[in-house]
Amino acid sequence: MRGSPIGSRYHKSAGICAAHEKWGLGFVEVYLPQVLLVALLSLAEVGCLIWNNLYSMSNDSRTSKDVAVSGNENAYNSFLPRDTTLDELIASGSRFVTAVDLWALSLLTHRLIRKLELVDPRRYPGLDQAVHATVLLLKSPQAQAAIDPLPRHLAEVGFAAHYFLKESDLIPDKTPEVGLADDFAIFKQVFARNRLEIDNVIYKS
């Protein structure tokens, strides 16, 4: 994931470990017995491991706390890469959705429903309506007959459906409490951006 803060959270701890290797190794090899060298290196490795775990836990708890705040749009957007808005993420991802992708997704609507059945509707109110509306749109004659370049509403709904089917995305789906917060935010924004067009397609179907 380009620009994702999730991949960079170990930079500080990695720097500490690198400093230990750069500045401490030569001195110890020259002036201390080999047995003491092994012991010191082992302690340094343990220290680096503990630091990594503490730093990871601190960031994970802070992210979970932010995302779990109900009704807070900033919290739902906290999963985004730095300097990226939700609209930019949707626009960027939907550019790669083609008519073939839309057709393939229409064959996977049972997977959308099956995954939805595992979601507590009280945690993500409105997600069930969004997924069912997405199924109707993917099965609609307009989607089935679509050609490239796709209209924006079809491309963005296709992007949201594909994102929902992924298990490992910006917030992995297995993350307790907040695993589908990013999927939910994307569905909400896609429908907000294309409400009229989506309603027209479903009504005509």
Tokens read off for 126: 């409105």
- The span from the CA of 69 to the CA of 178, in Å, is 10
Cβ–Cβ under 8 Å, residues 126 and 188: yes
pLDDT at 178 over 50: yes
> CA end-to-end span of the chain, whole Å?
36
Q: Tens digits of per-residue pLDDT, 64-105?
A: 434 333 443 454 567 898 889 999 999 999 999 999 999 999
In this structure, the answer to whether residues 85 and 61 fall within a common structural domain is no
* Domain edge (last residue) among 48, 67, 86: 67
* Cβ neighbours for 102, distance < 8 A, ≥ 6 positions apart: 138, 143, 146, 150, 154, 158
Show the domain range for 52.
5-67
* Domain edge (last residue) among 67, 99, 119: 67
The structural domain count of the chain equals 2
Whether the model clears a pTM of 0.85, i.e. scores above it, the answer is no
Buried residues in 51-72 as b, exposed as e (16+ CB within 10 A) = bbeebeeeeeeebbebbbeeee
Q: Tens digits of per-residue pLDDT, 116-173?
A: 999 999 999 999 999 999 999 999 999 999 999 999 999 999 999 999 999 999 999 9
In this structure, the answer to whether residues 36 and 120 fall within a common structural domain is no
